[in-house]
Amino acid sequence: MADHNDPNAVNSIFSDVDVSAADLYDIFGFPSNDTTEGEKVVIALTFSSTPQAGTLDPDMLYRIRIAPDTRIVRPKNEDHSLDGLLKYVDGIKNKYESILKPFEVRVSVDKDQKAHIRFINFTGGSFSDVVAINQTTELTAPDGQGIKVYIGGRDDAFFNDLTGFFRSINYAPQFYHVPHTMTDARELKIPKTLLELEGNDLFNYDPNLPTWGRGFKKDLPPGPLTWSGNSFKKDAKGNYRFVYSGEDARAGQNINAIILEMPLSYISRSPAEQRIVNAWGESWVLKAAHKCEQIPDHPFWLEHPSALVDQQKLDDELKAYKLVDTDGQAFADAALSERENNRQMGANNFWLAPHFVKRLGHLGWGFGPSISALGLSTSFDHDNSPISIYKTYDSVIAAFPRVKKLLFQDLNMPDNSWNPKGLDIPLRRPVEIFIPNVCSIDMDTTGTWPFGRRLEDQVATRFLSLFLDMTASYKGTKYHVDIMNTQALWDSAPIEPKTPPNPLKNDKIFLTEFPYIAPPWPS
């Protein structure tokens, strides 16, 4: 869902790669508070404001793919072995490839900045329309239900210390001008960590350069680009130095967005049974060969909106584009898929399951010891290592035992507000969150992460909580997904600065009504 960090081809972190309208940022999804005329779901896909906020690129096509489903029922005596994991993945794969046939919303703009939106194969009927951008429009679906649409510029709803995140994974391009040829100089071979490493001058905060990594980059030194220390950095008072600062790297920034509010019954034939709405976003760019042969605006569709073109013609449309980016689950790209262009698979990331296990193993050896150093309990088995370790795995069999608890632990919620109806809804687990790579909205919840993603969720910090041991307690309270957002935790921790890692609120207040995301900052 949070995907500010993207396939290398469009990643503007690399100095000479221009920011691209294909760069997807976030996908939000939650049940709407507006239940007049039935339940509704809000889905918002945000992306780079290129060429500018409120102006969209006519060469782009955005897809929001939606698949309603029933809630997963876990079998009794569930198998938490590696085999069990692979069977789970297989089952999900089969479901997505054979059973769920995702509907889709397609959006493109013409040269006059009119947005062409198409609703394809939905239960409530397929139709298309042309809408003005930068304003809310209410469309009427073939079944008579209303759908709210906003396409245009907004404030970036993501609030996050991106610099801190990149510092935690020793990601050189955020801090240095890295030659493109040096493909091994991205995540440097330095342990991941929440606490600065003693002597890690390649990344440790420099008070003389406060903007380093926040817009200012140094030249990459000759090397070696490694770390050979054996302890966390401490100040004179014995406090560790946090890699995070709690500052909002996206404050004052804008995005472009496609925001929809749709009746659940428009999406699902059985809204009472299908309580889950899975959504993910895709960006496609027009192929050069079709630039001159672009499908013209066709008045037929406007005159006969219900007689939508058949699937074959739609597929022909898609053949004129190439997939660039996908967005489903928060930090799937940044943390797990490592931004590789060929891992942009959207929901179909089942093939990456072994990679995820190995990747989590690698992250765990870094984050785990640093969590333990703070006196917190971690879900990762790091053999009581006193210091973060750089370790990678070639074998998923070797990695799995270390991450087994992390993958299968229930993620506690801070309270019961997420479950307003008090239903017997199982807590989510990391294994279900990242595979498939979708925003999975549970309509019987508030949609707060991981049961969707609400605008106000601090998902980056919640992602970090995956590495906490959810069976442990802090001052009598079980660990939960939001515990690292708790100021009291940091006040009592031997750390500076004493702050939650990421900002707790967005720089602009969200709206209480559609389109929910605040208006853009003036240019």
Residues at the site binding another protein, with contacts judged by CB under 8 A: 15-16, 20, 59, 177-184, 216-222, 285-292, 322, 324
CB closer to another protein out of 78 and 112: 112
Which residues lie closer than 8 Å to 203 by C-beta, 6 or more apart?
A: 167, 170, 175, 190, 196, 243
Minimum Å gap between C-beta 342 and another protein is 9
Minimum Å gap between C-beta 376 and another protein is 38
**Residues facing 477 on adjacent strands:** 474
As to burial, measured by CB atoms within 10 angstroms (0-12 exposed, 13-18 middle, 19+ buried), residue 179 is: exposed
∠ at Cα 509 (504, 514), nearest 5°?
125
Angle between helices 353-373 and 82-94 (to 10 degrees): 130
CB closer to another protein out of 185 and 360: 185
Minimum Å gap between C-beta 316 and another protein is 15
Residue keyed to tokens 């509907």: 103
CB closer to another protein out of 178 and 335: 178
CB closer to another protein out of 188 and 407: 188
Minimum Å gap between C-beta 453 and another protein is 29
Minimum Å gap between C-beta 478 and another protein is 47
How would DSSP label each residue in 48-93?
Answer: E--SBTTB--TTEEEEEEEEEEPPP-PPTT---SHHHHHHHHHHHH
CB closer to another protein out of 107 and 220: 220
Minimum Å gap between C-beta 254 and another protein is 21
Minimum Å gap between C-beta 322 and another protein is 6
Residue 90's CB is within 10 A of a number of other CB atoms, namely 12
As to burial, measured by CB atoms within 10 angstroms (0-12 exposed, 13-18 middle, 19+ buried), residue 482 is: buried
CB closer to another protein out of 63 and 405: 63
CB closer to another protein out of 80 and 322: 322
CB closer to another protein out of 290 and 498: 290
Which residues lie closer than 8 Å to 244 by C-beta, 6 or more apart?
A: 161, 164, 165, 167, 168, 194, 499, 500, 501, 502
Minimum Å gap between C-beta 172 and another protein is 10
CB closer to another protein out of 177 and 189: 177
The rounded distance, in Å, linking the Cα atoms of 499 and 495 is: 9
How would DSSP label each residue in 102-161?
Answer: -EEEEEEE-TT-EEEEEEES-TT--EEEEEESSSEEEEE-TTS-EEEEEEEEEE------
Minimum Å gap between C-beta 26 and another protein is 23
Radius of gyration of the chain (CA): 23
Structure letter (DSSP) for residue 308: P
Minimum Å gap between C-beta 396 and another protein is 22
CB closer to another protein out of 13 and 403: 13
334-360 burial code (b ≥16 CB/10 A, e <16): bbbbbbeeebbbbbebbebbbbbbbbb
What is the 3-class SS of 5-51, one letter each residue?
A: CCCHHHCCCCCCCCCCCCCEEEEEEEECCCCCCCCEEEEEEEEECCC
